[in-house]
């Protein structure tokens, strides 16, 4: 049944999120075209109308990416809430399917959409800005090199890439599950379910910040003593905490759906 | 064979408010049963507990001898008192959805009923009137070969012609070995099809009897008797 749930979840979200992601591709093409023209030798920098048009195009490009990323996240949160605990929940929770399958289907599809949008955004930025500004590419590479060295140490590049991708996916799954857990915990309230959900989200955020701060202080102390100045163990920390958060948030979501379901 | 529904000391509270008070109730198979009571009497709460949409505060509810779960959902066909379908789905997509998840769903039966009502399969649900949406939901629910049909207020908010269709559809399509539990406060409209009635008031079962038995013993219709029992 997991496959069927994922199929319908994908179909339901596809209608809105596919065109939204297509918007990133389309605006990226026009932004790339505009950027190329602006760097062309024959480009008339003194022509105010052309400058304005180019400016509007580029602003539209950055704005559309922002709207798509933020809008997709808001839509997926709203969809989880309405399809799980709203009117559509009456159908979802009377299907003869395991609650684990419901959670996994929704979380995997939501995470896939967000990762796709982020991937498209980075690809677009790289192609639009990176391909037309050589100095940008060089600076970007240097920053990346510093971040990678500080986070992973001088390890092989293939290992760095694989662990980076795994850490990113785990982190994204944990973020999505944090939202599903907060919304689910909000259902424990009789009258103020949404407000309670926001409260739980904020509380979880605070706890995560405290854990991150404690880790930061401890690591800074030891790396200072070692005298290497590196952040050290950063990706291991992100991966381990990501996995722990995933398990905790998943368990909370499942507990409410299986044991404490109370549809109004 | 065990009753299709067994409630043993079933209690449900919302916050501190008592919605169902230690209910003990058995519903037998092969009957059309009216769950009758005024608004706020606990009908919908009892129905949600049967479907696993709520958890009991105390006591137990069994469907075919099992606690509500995946197995019982295979045997219950549930019509809630609200639209639970995605509005942007086409009717045919919803039929496919039911076919994918319920092994006892009869797509042919659904399409046959849709055709008789001239509801186009490629029409999106959001473009249909409220009454037509309710008919689509009822068609989906009655196109299953379930052991228990639970219909929560199926005739509330629809015109008299639609009510006739809904009642005809229920009688014509339910599995004869199955039980139909029909919750309503519009008793006069459904009285003719009921084998048995359960009166519920403020979370308590006040009567469970055969419809014919009430008419014979009380010398009046179930509707008239209901009005006397629940007189304000």
Q: What average pLDDT does chain A have?
A: 84
What's the structural domain count of chain B?
1
With bands split at pLDDT 50, 70 and 90, how would you rate the model's confidence at B74? very high
Contact assessment for residue A107 and residue A173, using Cβ atoms and an 8 Å cutoff = yes
Gap from A92 CA to chain B (nearest CA, Å): 9
B15 CB within 8 Å of a chain A CB: yes
Residue from the list B70, B84, B102 with its beta carbon closest to the beta carbon of A90:
B84
CA atoms within 13 A on the CB side of A185: 21
Instruction: Report ipTM (2 d.p.).
Output: 0.91
Nearest to B53 among A93, A190, A191 (CB): A93
Structure token digits, residue A88: 């559509």
Instruction: Give the pLDDT score at A123.
Output: 85
pLDDT in tens, B184-218: 888 888 888 899 999 999 999 999 999 999 999 98
Contact A201, A77 (CB under 8 A): no
Whether residue A263 and residue B54 make contact (CB cut-off 8 A), yes or no, is: yes
For residue A88, list chain B residues with Cβ-Cβ distance below 8 A. 84-86
pLDDT by residue (tens digit) across A55-100?
888 888 888 889 999 999 999 999 999 999 999 999 999 999 999 9
Q: Which of A91, A93, A187, A259 to mutate to test the interface with B (most CBs of B within 10 A)?
A: A91
Residues in chain B within 8 Å Cβ distance of A190? 14-15
Q: Is B213 on the interface with A (CB under 8 A)?
A: no
Helices (H), chain B: 43-50, 70-73, 91-101, 107-116, 130-142, 160-173, 187-190, 211-218, 222-229
Q: Mark yes or no for CB contact B102/A96 under 8 Å.
A: yes
**Closest-approach residue (CA) in chain B for A190:** B15
User: What's the helix, strand, coil split of chain A in %, to 5?
Assistant: 85, 0, 15
Q: Rounded to a whole number, what is the distance in Å from the CA of B213 to chain A's nearest CA?
A: 34
The whole-angstrom distance between A8's CA and the closest CA on chain B is 8
Where in the sequence is the domain holding B79, given as residue range(s)? 5-229
Is the pLDDT score of A134 beyond 80? no
Note the pLDDT tens digit of each residue in B95-123.
999 999 999 999 999 999 899 888 999 99
Percent of chain A with pLDDT over 90: 47
Q: Which of A88, A95, A260 sits opposite B73 (nearest CB)?
A: A95
What are the Cα distances from residue B141, in Å, to A104, B35, B113, B123, B169? 27, 18, 12, 19, 10
Q: Over the stretch B149-173, which tens digit does the pLDDT of each residue have?
A: 999 988 876 777 777 877 888 888 7
Cβ atoms within 10 Å, residue B167: 17
Phi, psi of B148 (to 5 degrees): -140, 120
- Interface check for B16 against chain A (CB to CB < 8 A): the answer is no
A96 and B74 within 8 Å at the Cβ level: the answer is yes
Query: A94, B52: Cβ pair inside 8 Å?
Result: yes
Q: Do B84 and A262 touch (CB under 8 A)?
A: no
What is the C-alpha to C-alpha distance for residues A77 and A92, in angstroms, rounded to an integer? 16
Give yes or no for residue A155 having a pLDDT over 60: no
Helix boundaries (H) for B12-129: 43-50, 70-73, 91-101, 107-116
Residues of A in contact with B130 (CB under 8 A): none
In 3D, which of A109, A9, A90 has the Cα closest to residue A261? A90
Whether residue B226 lies within 8 A of chain A, CB to CB, comes out as no
**Rg of the Cα atoms in chain B:** 18
Q: Which residue of B has its CA nearest to A11?
A: B89
B1 pLDDT band, cuts 50/70/90, is confident
CATH of the domain at B69: 3.40.50.300
- The DSSP letter of residue B85 is S
Q: Is A161 in a helix, a strand, or coil? A: helix
């Amino acid at each position: 049944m997991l496959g069927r749930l994922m199929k319908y979840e994908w179909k339901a979200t596809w209608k809105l999120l596919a065109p939204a992601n297509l918007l990133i591709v389309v605006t990226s093409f026009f932004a790339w075209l505009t950027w190329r023209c602006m760097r062309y030798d024959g480009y008339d920098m003194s022509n105010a109308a052309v400058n304005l048009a180019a400016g509007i195009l580029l602003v539209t490009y950055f704005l559309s990416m922002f709207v798509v990323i933020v809008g997709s996240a808001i839509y997926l949160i709203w969809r989880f809430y309405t399809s799980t605990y709203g009117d559509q929940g009456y159908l979802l929770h009377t299907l003869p399917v395991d609650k684990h399958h419901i959670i996994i289907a929704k979380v995997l599809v939501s995470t896939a959409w967000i990762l796709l949008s982020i991937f498209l955004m980075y690809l677009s930025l790289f192609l639009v800005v990176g391909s037309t500004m050589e100095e940008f590419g060089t600076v970007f590479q240097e920053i990346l090199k510093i971040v990678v060295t500080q986070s992973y140490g001088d390890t092989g590049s293939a290992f760095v890439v694989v662990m980076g991708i795994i850490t990113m996916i785990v982190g994204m799954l944990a973020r999505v599950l944090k939202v599903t857990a907060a919304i689910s915990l909000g259902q424990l309230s009789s009258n103020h379910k949404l407000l309670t959900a926001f409260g739980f989200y904020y509380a979880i955020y605070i706890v995560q910040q405290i854990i991150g701060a404690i880790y930061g202080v401890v690591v800074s102390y030891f790396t200072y003593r070692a005298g290497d100045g590196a952040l050290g163990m950063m990706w291991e920390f992100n991966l381990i905490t990501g996995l722990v958060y995933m398990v905790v948030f998943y368990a909370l979501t499942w507990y409410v759906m299986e044991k404490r379901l109370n549809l109004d | 064979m065990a009753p299709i529904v067994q409630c043993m000391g079933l209690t449900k509270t919302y916050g501190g408010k008592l919605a169902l008070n230690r209910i003990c109730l058995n519903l037998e198979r092969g009957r059309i049963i009216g769950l009758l009571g005024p608004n706020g009497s606990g009908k919908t709460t009892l129905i949600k507990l049967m479907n696993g949409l709520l958890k009991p505060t105390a006591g137990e509810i069994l469907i075919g001898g099992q606690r509500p779960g995946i197995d019982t959902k295979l045997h219950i066909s549930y019509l809630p008192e609200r639209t639970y379908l995605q509005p942007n789905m086409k009717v045919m997509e919803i039929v496919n959805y039911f076919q994918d998840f319920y092994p006892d769903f009869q797509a042919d039966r659904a399409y046959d009923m849709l055709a008789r009502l001239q509801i186009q399969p490629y029409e999106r649900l959001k473009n249909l009137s409220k009454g037509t949406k309710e008919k689509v939901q009822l068609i989906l629910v009655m196109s299953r070969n379930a052991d228990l049909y639970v219909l929560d207020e199926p005739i509330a908010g629809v015109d008299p012609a639609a009510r006739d269709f809904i009642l005809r559809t229920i009688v014509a399509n339910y599995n004869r070995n199955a039980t139909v539990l029909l919750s309503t406060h519009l008793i006069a409209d459904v009285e003719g099809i009921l084998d048995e009635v359960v009166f519920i008031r403020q979370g308590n079962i006040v009567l469970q009897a055969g419809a014919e038995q009430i008419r014979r013993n009380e010398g009046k219709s179930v509707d008239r008797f209901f009005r006397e029992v629940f007189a304000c």
